[in-house]
Amino acid sequence: MIEPYGLIVILLGLIMAAYTFKEFYRKRIGTIPFIIWTIIWIALISTGVYPQLYLGLASSLGMAAPIQFVTTFSIMILFAIVYQIFRTVGDINRKITKIVQQLALEKTEVKMDQ
Amino acid sequence: MLLLKVVCVIPAHNEESTISSVVRNARTICNLVIVVDDGSTDKTVEEATKAKAKVVSHIIRLGVGAALSTGLRAASNHDAEIIVTLDADEQHDPKEIPNVIAPIVDGKADLVIGSRILEKNSEMPFQKLVANKILSKLTSFASGIEIKDSQSGFRGMSRHVADSIKYESTDYQWASEMIISLSKRGFRIVDVPIKTVYFKSRRRGAGFRDAIKILYNILHPK
């Protein structure tokens, strides 16, 4: 019997998996991110379909219910994603700065040559 | 006019009301004045061009640190021997440029900081003064050099210093990062007193958020 929580998780997982596939199909994400995200969505969906799979794992980690395991695991993943986004934004910012500075200098040189 | 080629770099963002007079005054002392327009949306570029400055324009606003970095590269491209950086808001008096670059001309320093606090009659607002003193202490601690005004934008440096400057900060944190980075590579840094005029209507500069970022940079040097 699937719990209401399970239904929400399955629905969310399926929507996100479909969205991820669409992004991969349109070549907006690479193969490795596609595989990683697909694994994450499958893991999420399976917590809704087979909650008993996580019972043993949750109890061995001292957690009362699979939902605690899922929540804790999800928060950990979210922290990792936020960190990755933070790094990416920093990298993009540095690249934009370099491009804008280079453009400014090149434009000035062109003006001087004319 | 000095025998060495002195190039003045002025970062500017929406400074149409003051840039013209700053450029004109700086031109009486410097061989070339470069205004780095940091994504201005007013007539800063037109005013600076009219005042006969060389204008380098960022298509978007990157921050004062990035503007200075662009300006230093532009100055090097124009064969500068000494580079002076000034604020565009008339806070600094270009007539003091000879005092700021004197230790470089005399071969006694590689980087000179025009210190607003060394000046006894400094008009720096109290809040700014306190923040500045704290940041200067932190910068002095991290660099191992006693710096009275680490946030001053009025600086003089020799060409080889400008060419070797590497900092990643694009905003106000550049001021401390530059000092720390250069001191660790053995460059000689001194400060000289300068006069500063503050206008209540156009007070800018490092704020609380910048202070936190500067502290972070000091604790996590790149």
B184 in a structural domain? yes
Q: How many domains does chain A have?
A: 1
Domain span at residue A50? 4-85
Q: How many domains does chain B have?
A: 1
A48 in a structural domain? yes
| Whole-number pLDDT of residue A54 | 72
Domain span at residue B56? 6-219
CB contact under 8 A, A100 and B56: no
B168 in a structural domain? yes
What's the gap in Å between the CA of B186 and the closest CA on chain A?
27
**What average pLDDT does range B36-56 have in this prediction?**
95
Q: What is the pLDDT of residues B74-116, one digit of tens each?
A: 999 999 999 999 999 888 889 999 999 999 999 999 999 998 8
Q: What is the pLDDT of residues A2-60, one digit of tens each?
A: 777 778 888 888 998 998 899 889 888 888 888 988 998 898 888 888 877 777 777 77
CA separation for the pair B57, B37 (Å, rounded): 5
What's the gap in Å between the CA of A104 and the closest CA on chain B?
5
Residues from chain B contacting residue A108 (CB–CB below 8 Å): 54-57, 74
Cross-strand pairs, B55: B35
B187 in a structural domain? yes
A21 in a structural domain? yes
B1 in a structural domain? no
In the structure, what pLDDT confidence band is assigned to residue B2 with cuts at 50, 70 and 90? low
What's the gap in Å between the CA of A88 and the closest CA on chain B?
15
A69 in a structural domain? yes
| Whole-number pLDDT of residue A100 | 95
CB contact under 8 A, A104 and B58: yes
ipTM of the complex, rounded to two decimals: 0.79
B11 in a structural domain? yes
A25 in a structural domain? yes
CATH of the domain at B183: 3.90.550.10
Residue B188 neighbours by CB under 8 Å, 6+ apart = B108, B109, B110, B111
CA separation for the pair B89, B97 (Å, rounded): 16
